[in-house]
Amino acid sequence: MTLCFAVLLQSCPGVLHQCHILASEMVHFIHQMQYYITFEVLECSWDELWNKVQQAQDLDHIITAHEVFLDTIISRCLLDSNSRSLLNQLRAIFNQIIEFQSAQDSLYRSALRSSACGCSTTSRRRRGRPRASGA
């Protein structure tokens, strides 16, 4: 007798709740990284560049300001050689997030397939059985 995934999922709501909490924390982490890059790095660096361009006296000042802008972005986005270790750690975290999401998707797809075809038949068979005389 094969165990239905949907029944298995219903029998372990604590595990599913913990998975949901972990997934929520992972999404929060990704949003924080996105916020940091968008507003703390790009927005602030753009503002600094714009101010320097406004104060520039010639094209050389603008080119220098742009080079500083690019170097600042690369550094603050952890893409420079000084941040290589931290970037590798972040990549490892992102890889774990992707693996978790893939495993969770696979589990849910299996449960949906199982509930759509196998479990409905099993539950109908159980309902159709006559009850024992003492129950």
Residue 14 lies in a domain: no
Is the CB of residue 77 less than 8 Å from the CB of residue 41?
Answer: yes
Domain contains 122: no
Determine, yes or no, domain membership for 73: yes
Task: Kindly state the tokens that stand for 65.
Answer: 């300001």
126 assigned to some structural domain: no
The whole-number average pLDDT for the span 24-36 is: 97
Dist CA 17 CA 9 (whole Å): 11
Residue 1 confidence (pLDDT): 39
Tell me what the mean pLDDT of segment 70-84 comes to. 96
In a domain, 108, yes or no: no
pLDDT level of residue 61 (50, 70, 90 thresholds) = very high
Average pLDDT of the segment spanning 61-72: 98
Which residue range forms the structural domain that includes residue 76?
A: 27-100
pLDDT, tens digit, 9 for 90 and up, residues 78-100: 999 999 999 999 999 999 999 99
Helix (H, G, I), strand (E, B) or coil at 26: helix
- Determine, yes or no, domain membership for 69: yes
Q: Cα–Cα distances in Å, from 127 out to 13, 64, 93, 99, 121?
A: 24, 78, 47, 39, 10
Number of domains in the chain: 1
52 Cβ partners below 8 Å, 6+ apart? 61, 62, 65, 68
Q: Measuring CA to CA, how many Å separate 86 from each of 1, 18, 69, 81, 109? A: 49, 28, 21, 10, 35
